Structures are given as C-alpha cells and as structure tokens.
Amino acid sequence: MFASRFVSIRARVPLSSLSCVVRHQSKLFMSSETRKAIDQAVASAPVVLFMKGTPEFPQCGFSRATVQMLGQQGVDPAKFAAYNVLEDPELREGIKEYSEWPTIPQLYVNKEFIGGCDIITNMAQTGDLATVLEEANALVPEEEE
C-alpha cells in the first residue's frame, strides 16, 4: 500500500520536494497498537495529561505550567494520570496525530481533548477550566462541615 503511494507522489512531485512529502506522509499513519495504547491512556482517568517529564519532575516549562494549573484548580490525584512522552517516541509522535495538535503537553478531560498549555492557561484565567473539571467530577471533594 505504501509503495503505490510513493510511486504516485513521485510521478507528480519534483524530486527535490519528495523527502518532505514522504516524511509528512509517514507521520500520518500511527500503528494500530499505538492508537489502542493512546485510547487506553486517554480512558485511564478523568483527567489525563501527556507531558514531557512527570508531574513531580517536568522536563519543560509548558508541562510544568500545566501541572501547576491543574494543582491550583484542585484536581484530585486519584482522578489524574500523566504520561511522559519522552519515554516513548511512538507516543510522542502518535499523540500529536491522535489529537491533531502539534505540541505537548496535551490535556484530556473525560476522554475529550481540551488543548495545550496556552489553551489551559486561558481557560484557567477565564474560569472555564474550573467549570470543565467540576463537571468531570475531577476535583478534590470539599470537606463537609
């Protein structure tokens, strides 16, 4: 199947730009195993973050900021899962294809893609993030008096 695609591309695209087209084409097809693993990860908790590093040791400023915002919102640790994309190159590229979003971190709430750090920051500022997390019942319960 791939070979016929390369032949048809080669027939229409100058050789000088073929490597870009082929590279772009190869990123569009994650394996079914990777897709299944991402499906399972997204469903593993009400709040799921794909990030660089871990919540305890973020490896980029955007991942750190996103984890901090989730903490400030009061996300219940029992309802939160984080996946370090630096540990798995297939996950790192696959999650971008899965969400059709080019950057990491990526936040999912109740299996729905919410966005990256910029969107989460904006949502936190407007109060929309708190609303989404409350509706997902993902916050630490308030103690009854």
Q: How high is the pLDDT of residue 28?
A: 57
* Host domain of residue 108: 46-140
- Asked if 132 and 108 touch (Cβ cutoff 8 Å), the reply is no
Evaluate whether residue 57 is within a structural domain: yes
Q: How high is the pLDDT of residue 141?
A: 87
DSSP state of 115: E
Average pLDDT for 77-89? 95
The type of residue at 113 is F
Evaluate whether residue 28 is within a structural domain: no
**Range from 16-20, 40-44, 74-78 carrying the lowest mean pLDDT:** 16-20
Evaluate whether residue 84 is within a structural domain: yes
| Angle at alpha carbon of residue 97, lines to 136 and 48, rounded to 5° | 25
The type of residue at 115 is G
Q: 60: helix, coil or strand?
A: coil
Radius of gyration over alpha carbons of the chain, in Å?
Answer: 19
Q: What residues does 112 pair with on adjacent strands?
A: 109
Instruction: List the structure tokens of 71.
Output: 């903490």
Evaluate whether residue 27 is within a structural domain: no
Q: How high is the pLDDT of residue 9?
A: 28
Given a cut of 80, is residue 7 above it in pLDDT?
Answer: no
Count of domains for the chain: 1
Evaluate whether residue 145 is within a structural domain: no
CA-nearest of 58, 27, 69, 28 to 50 is 58
Predicted TM-score (pTM) of this structure: 0.79
